Chains A and B, each alone.
Chain A
């Protein structure tokens, strides 16, 4: 079956809309700092741990993305967990702590306050 250009454009628009929906649907975003500071402090093993834990638990609504240096290099490795309009920044991470955050914060919806930037800065 041949399709006219208009029809193809329509399909394109619909697909784009669907893709957008899917992206907005991701109910949780994890943003990992992967600048030079993050990488040298050990962001890669943390990221691998997060991806592994997310896959193991089949969390399809979690989106994992990277960002550059955010200017707090001494607190690296760090990542943000963004759910809805709430953002929590976890600092001084290890692969073990990262897994804990995925389980507690994303699965059980309990923020681990002692690992967040607010607590770290108090000391």
Chain B
């Protein structure tokens, strides 16, 4: 993936496939870090499954539910010495959090988040999205629940 916004699009596609109806995307940008959080209320994953999620071969061999999307994101986060966590509860939803060290030479740019959000809203009219973008002194919130 060339930038973070494409990763977000890719991870949110997992949420959509997990029958989520509400997906929250939060991006917090500080002077040194970019933190991306994606929270959904989809079908979630079992504890066993979550353990294997980072392994591209193991996951693709079982159900192809996750495949390469998460391993690629993990790789890009690791390259910047960032943090990556994934929490999931069966039938409750999944939370993916990735923190990039912005000043690391290998950090990929944030990219066109606007295009990602527009793509998601046009493709999935039945799913609601809450998009938050925070910097040190500004905050932007887009909520499709309010728009509809």
Contacts and interface: CB of A to CB of B under 8 A. Distances in A.
Interface of A: 34-37, 39-40, 44-45, 47-48, 51, 64-66, 68-69
A39 B123 contact: no
Interface of B: 1-2, 6, 9-10, 13, 17, 67-69, 72, 115-116, 118-119, 122-124
A64 B13 contact: no
Contacts of A37: 68
Contacts of B67: 35-36, 69
A39 B118 contact: no
Contacts, number: 42
A51 to B, nearest CB: 6
Nearest to A34: B13
Contact of B9 (A44, A65, A68, A69): A44
B6 A64 contact: no
Q: Interface SS of chain B: helix, strand, loop or mixed?
A: helix
A117 to B, nearest CB: 22
B123 A64 contact: yes
Given A36-B10, A39-B9, A44-B9, 5 more contacts: A39-B1, A44-B6, A44-B116, A44-B119, A48-B115
B122 A44 contact: no
Contacts of A64: 122-123
